[in-house]
Amino acid sequence: MSAASRSAVADRLGPLGFGAAPIGNLARPVSDDDAFAALSAAWEAGIRYFDTAPHYGLGLSERRLGEFLRTKPRDEFVVSTKVGRLLDPNPSYTGGDDLAQGFAVPDRWVRRFEPSEGGIRRSLDDSLERMGLDRIDVLYLHDPDAYDLDRGLAQGLPALERLREEGAVGAVGIGTNSADAAVRAVREGELDLVMIAGRYTLLEQPAADELLPLCQGRGVGVVAAAPFNSGLLARDEPSADSSYDYGPVPAGILERARTLAAACRALGAALPTAALQFPLRHPAVRSVVAGSARAEAVRQNAERMSRSLPDAFWRNLAAWGFPS
């Protein structure tokens, strides 16, 4: 696939993508009907980019997403999934769950870090089988920094590039919460996209220092995931029971989020609206991916993304000490 063709994949993402971790029972059980309703709400709102991973619910997210997407014309959507973790049968399964990893599903499977070419090819084949699709548009190396970053990049990036060269996937990249890991991947590989979660948000922007300028200079598109910092910025008024980076909110972070919410209100916008739109102000960012298993929240996010926030709003926000 040519560079122009790979760029075309990034151009099709759209400003708002659907993150499918919640329909993998992230933190709580979600019924099949509710998952389907959330996906339907995304489609009806015009969202055509859907992101998932084997990690999300030990394959449940991929299965649910695939069942939904099989009802849609294949050329009308972009789907990404991730590699680097294989799902193997759990030899110690006794009826437990996967909540220690954040998902309310039976732990019949265990995750195994395997960024080798053979492992990545098997992971892709397994994902295609779970989803029932004929191809994956974007394939990300998933969180190699959580295991062995050196091995992950040395083995995983060349394997992804070979799959792209063969035409097995349209575009390749890395998906991570670490701006430093993403910088290394961009420097050491030939990537099309970087999915950075929670590190370029209205609340905090460590990805702005090096990652985003590097991507812009090399023509690598950025997908900004988790724009609400795992929920903290998803309400008009952040609360102490909100989640921050999949855990409790530190007092200092909560105070800053409340100050940010007050600034947005004073300037005529709700915090979640500004949080969704902020990443797209950087020229390297191609799409913002937000996840929810609630149809109403999906519709609300799409409506928030469509609202117009004038340049004056962002200029005045800077006077409060926040990025613009």
> Which residue is catalytic, options 56, 140, 200, 244?
56
User: How many angstroms separate the Cα of 253 from the Cα of each of 12, 256, 320?
Assistant: 35, 5, 16
Contact 62, 69 (CB under 8 A): no
pLDDT of residue 324: 78
Contact 136, 124 (CB under 8 A): yes
Is the alpha carbon torsion for 267, 19, 257, 241 positive or negative?
Answer: positive
pTM score, whole prediction: 0.96
284-51-29 Cα angle (round to 5)? 135
Number of residues that make up the chain: 324
Nearest one of 303, 225, 215 to 17, comparing CA atoms: 225
User: How many angstroms separate the Cα of 123 from the Cα of each of 89, 117, 179, 249, 288?
Assistant: 14, 10, 24, 34, 25
In the chain, what are the domain boundaries? 3-251+272-310
Quick one: residue 148, left, alpha or beta (phi over 0 = left, psi -120 to 50 = alpha)? beta
- CATH number (3.20.20.100, 3.40.50.720, 2.130.10.10, 3.40.50.670) of 3-251+272-310 reads 3.20.20.100
How many helices and strands (H and E) does the chain possess?
12, 12
pLDDT of residue 7: 62
C-alpha to C-alpha distance for 168 and 159, rounded to whole angstroms: 11
pLDDT of residue 10: 82
Residue 93 is a catalytic residue: no
pLDDT of residue 2: 45
pLDDT by 10s per residue, the chain, length 324: 445 545 678 889 999 999 999 999 999 999 999 999 999 999 999 999 999 999 999 999 999 999 999 999 999 999 999 999 999 999 999 999 999 999 999 999 999 999 999 999 999 999 999 999 999 999 999 999 999 999 999 999 999 999 999 999 999 999 999 999 999 999 999 999 999 999 999 999 999 999 999 999 999 999 999 999 999 999 999 999 999 998 999 999 999 999 999 999 999 999 999 999 999 999 999 999 999 999 999 999 999 999 999 999 999 999 998 987
Quick one: residue 222, left, alpha or beta (phi over 0 = left, psi -120 to 50 = alpha)? beta
